[in-house]
Amino acid sequence: MNRIKLRKLEAIFQNRNVDRPPKGFKTRDQWANEWGVSSQHCSRLIHKYIAKNLIEVKMFKVKSGQVTRPIPHYKIKNENR
């Protein structure tokens, strides 16, 4: 994502309200940790599964350091947990 797109997204999310992702939605790093793979490999897997319509993606406003920014969260579709 380039800086212009990031700034446009941040403009949308200017209010400081933070979202709490629903159960099942996790960040790339959380999935990488759960699957026992590197973040880079997890990114490749996630993009592959998105293309196959196996994973749902949603952006949530999350506090990162001192700023609130949109962070993609992923959820496996039809997960039986």
pLDDT along the chain (81 residues), means of 10: 78 71 94 96 96 95 82 86 47
Contact 13, 68 (CB under 8 A): yes
CATH top class, domain 3-76: mainly alpha
Task: Count the neighbouring beta carbons within 10 Å of the beta carbon of residue 25.
Answer: 18
80: helix, strand or coil: coil
pLDDT at 4: 82
pLDDT recorded at residue 51: 95
- 25 Cβ contact list (under 8 Å, min separation 6): 58, 60, 73, 74, 75
Q: Provide the residue ranges of all domains of the chain, joining segments of one domain with +.
A: 3-76
The pLDDT score that the predictor gives to residue 16 is 61
Q: Which token pair is 70?
A: 């949109």
